[in-house]
Structure formats: C-alpha cells, structure tokens
Amino acid sequence: MIHVLKQGLETSIQDWPGRQGFWNKGFPPSGPVDSWSFRMANLLVGNAAGDAGLEAQFMGPTLRFDRDAVIALAGADMKATLDAKQVPMWQSIPVRAGQVLAMGAARTGARGYLAVAGGLANDQKLGSRATFHKAGVGGMNGHALKAGQDVPVGDAQGTVGMKVPETARPAFSTDRSWQIEVCAGPNDDWIDAAGHDRFLTSDWKLSPKSDRTGYRLEGPEWTFAPKATDKPPEHGSLPANIIDHGYPMGAINLAGQTPIILMNDGPSMGGFINPYTVPSVAFWKLAQAKPGEILRFKLIEIETAQRMAAELTALCTPATLVSA
C-alpha cells in the first residue's frame, strides 16, 4: 500500500490508453494527458507502458510507502524529495518501507507522473483503472486521491538504476509558448479562408477555465463560410451550431466564438462545429501547458500525425532506456 498524507491539487490514478470502447455510453477514454512521460515512467520501473500510475496536476501529493518499492518520476519537475532528500527525475530509484515521497509545485511543465513497480492495483471499472472524475468512475472510489487513503500496489520486483536519455524525453517550453500540431476537420469547411488564416497565425492564450474535459482558448473572433449561416434550421441559430454529431478526442470545438480543445475526459458528441483536431501525439504539449501560456497551431496532414504517433510509440520501449 501507499498511504496518502497530502493529496496535492488533483492527483489521479490513470492508465494508458485509458477506458476504451465505452464512449458511446458516455464514458470517455480518460488516461494520462501526457502519455509520453507516463509510458516512460512505467518502463523505467519494469512495468508495461500502460500500467496504472499517478498523474499529478500543478501540485503533487505527499505519499508514505508501507513496503519497499521501485519508483520513477517523469513529466513536470515537481522537485520531489524522499525523506527530505531530492530525488532525480526520469530514472528508477528504490524506496524503503516507511519513506515519504513529497512532490511540490511544478517548476517546469504542469503534470508530473509517478510509476511504481507492479502498477497501482485499484479496482478496474469498465476495463480500466483510469479516473473519470465527473462520473465517479475508476481511480479511488471514482475520484482523485484524498488524504488518508491507501492505494494498493501490485507485486513486482522492479528495476532500479534505469534512465531515460535526454534525447528521448519531451522538451518542455522555456518561453511559456507551445507549438501544437493540428489536422483540419472534421468541419473545416464551415470556416472561411480569413478565419483559417487567423486561427493558424494568432496567439491563443490557455484560459484558467480549463481542465481534463476541455481547454478553453482566448483569442480573436472567428469568421465563417456561407454554409455556416445559410443552413437549414435544424443546424441551430449560431454560425458555429450544427446538428448533433460525434466529436473526435482532441477536437477544437467552437462554442460560439470560444474554441475548446476536447481533452481526455471530454464529451463524445454535441451541436458545435470542430474546424480542427489536435492529434494524440501532440497531447503531451497540452498536458504540460499552464493557464496563461500561449498556444500556436501548426497545420499538418493526418498521415504526418500518424507517422509521428508511430515514431513516439517506437521510442516508448525498454530498448530506449540506459543505465543511470
């Protein structure tokens, strides 16, 4: 067991790729937003890449280990300490029974990840251990960690002394801005040429009103193609309204004039257009962006996004690791 002394701002159990096959019933995939860091942390301790671990947002938890373990930290640097001594990121280290791991505020990035050899062993719900807060599914009693809880851990010896080389780690922004890849569609034909140019050349600020459901963006107004205004009444009154249809994960959902990137816990359908979609391979950047930081979007082809995802999956293997 791991005993939760302090819960952090929002620390949740996630697995990768999350809860599959239930979106049509209202249950999104959930899972880690930065799957690159998450997978690497798991591989470091000898787990499968998708085993359940912790995602800590902005401020990490304080945890006491009730038995010997092997752990690894990846993602945002939360200046973690083990019995008040700083511990390294991106490598596997031993923990003794009774030791206390304290994760602080994120210094770089926004979400930190903790993997434990054996993986977290909370109950599976609909085929996944991932937390979906808004429905109370998965995680610990359906929600993020709370002080006083005991988190079960699977049995495993683990591997100590492994490291992710710097060339295989995500490179976090140093100037509070991020370039995010997007693919056109599914409703890009509802936006006129000026609107597309404005979206792809403007700075978009990440709003504090953002969470694992959706990232709200602040920026210029959109302009629309004729089909957005000259349309049958069942499509709704606003130019961004459309008859209810399915939303892809990562869709940039245009709610009136407010673009909202639909994240891991986002809805599966609705009545707004989606001019662009952020591919899964770019989600790690969204995970590590903080409110107030700038997002700039780069248009790529779907085939390019698929190639990038395949390259990342090939990188997230034990063969990438080196001895510390």
Same domain, 214 and 154: no
Amino acid at 142: G
- Asked which of 129, 164, 199 is the last residue of a domain, the reply is 164
- Rounded to a whole number, what is the distance in angstroms from the first to the last CA of the chain? 27
> How much is the CA Rg of the chain, to the nearest whole Å?
20
Structure-token pair, residue 234: 């069942």
pLDDT at 16: 98
pLDDT of residue 245: 95
Which of the listed residues 164, 189, 205 is the one where a domain comes to its end?
164
Question: Residue 273 is part of a domain; what is its CATH number?
Answer: 2.40.100.10
pLDDT attached to residue 264: 98
Q: DSSP H helical segments within the chain, as ranges? A: 35-45, 193-201, 283-288, 302-315
Decide if 206 is inside a domain. yes
Please give the Cα distance from 83 to 293 (Å, whole number). Answer: 33
As given in the structure block, the two tokens for residue 323 are 């001895």
pTM of the prediction? 0.96
CA atoms within 13 A on the CB side of 225: 12
Whether 221 and 120 map to the same domain: the answer is no
Q: What is the predicted pLDDT for the residue at 139?
A: 94
Question: What φ, ψ does residue 37 adopt, rounded to 5°?
Answer: -65, -40
Tell me how far apart the alpha carbons of residues 61 and 7 are, in angstroms, rounded to a whole number: 5
Q: What is residue 197's three-state secondary structure?
A: helix
Residue that finishes a domain, picked among 164, 190, 214: 164
169-190 as b/e: b if 16+ CB within 10 A: bbebbeeeebebbbbbebbbeb
pLDDT at res. 278:
98
* Whether 217 and 96 share a structural domain: no
What pLDDT, on a 0 to 100 scale, did the predictor assign at position 50? Answer: 98
Cis before 291 (ω within 30): no
Q: Note whether 115 and 10 are same-domain residues.
A: yes
Order the strands of the 62-65 sheet from edge to edge: 85-86, 81-82, 100-102, 62-65, 2-6, 150-151
Q: Are residues 183 and 155 in the same domain?
A: no
| Residue 221: per-residue pLDDT | 96
Amino acid 139 reads: G
CA pair distance 230, 225, nearest whole angstrom: 9
In 52-107, DSSP assigns E strands to 53-57, 62-65, 69-77, 81-82, 85-86, 92-95, 100-102
Strands 2-6 and 62-65, how do they pair? antiparallel
Give the structural domain span for 73: 2-164
Distance CA 241, CA 249 (A): 19
| AA letter at 194 | A
Please tell me the distance from the alpha carbon of residue 167 to that of residue 169, in angstroms, as a whole number: 6
In a domain, 318, yes or no: no
**322 lies in a domain?**
no
Pairwise CA distance, residues 35 & 222, whole Å? 31
DSSP state, residue 105: B
Residue 34 in any domain: the answer is yes
pLDDT number for residue 265? 97
In a domain, 169, yes or no: no
Quote the number of domains for the chain: 2
**Predicted local distance difference test score (pLDDT) of residue 288:** 98
Q: Tens-of-pLDDT digits for all 324 residues of the chain?
A: 999 999 999 999 999 999 999 998 889 999 999 999 999 999 999 999 999 999 999 999 999 999 999 999 999 999 999 999 999 999 999 999 999 999 999 999 999 999 999 999 999 999 999 999 989 999 999 999 999 999 999 999 999 999 999 999 999 999 999 999 999 999 999 999 999 999 999 999 999 999 999 999 999 999 999 999 999 999 999 999 999 999 999 999 999 999 999 999 999 999 999 999 999 999 999 999 999 999 999 999 999 999 999 999 999 999 999 998
- Shared domain for 195 and 55, answered yes or no, is no
On whether both 16 and 144 belong to a single domain, the answer is yes
Structure tokens at 308: 């990038």
Residue 97's contacts (CB-CB under 8 Å, 6 or more residues apart) are 65, 66, 67, 68
**CA distances in angstroms from 280 to 69, 182, 264, 302, listed in the order given:** 31, 10, 10, 11
Nearest to 302 by CA among 268, 276, 283: 276
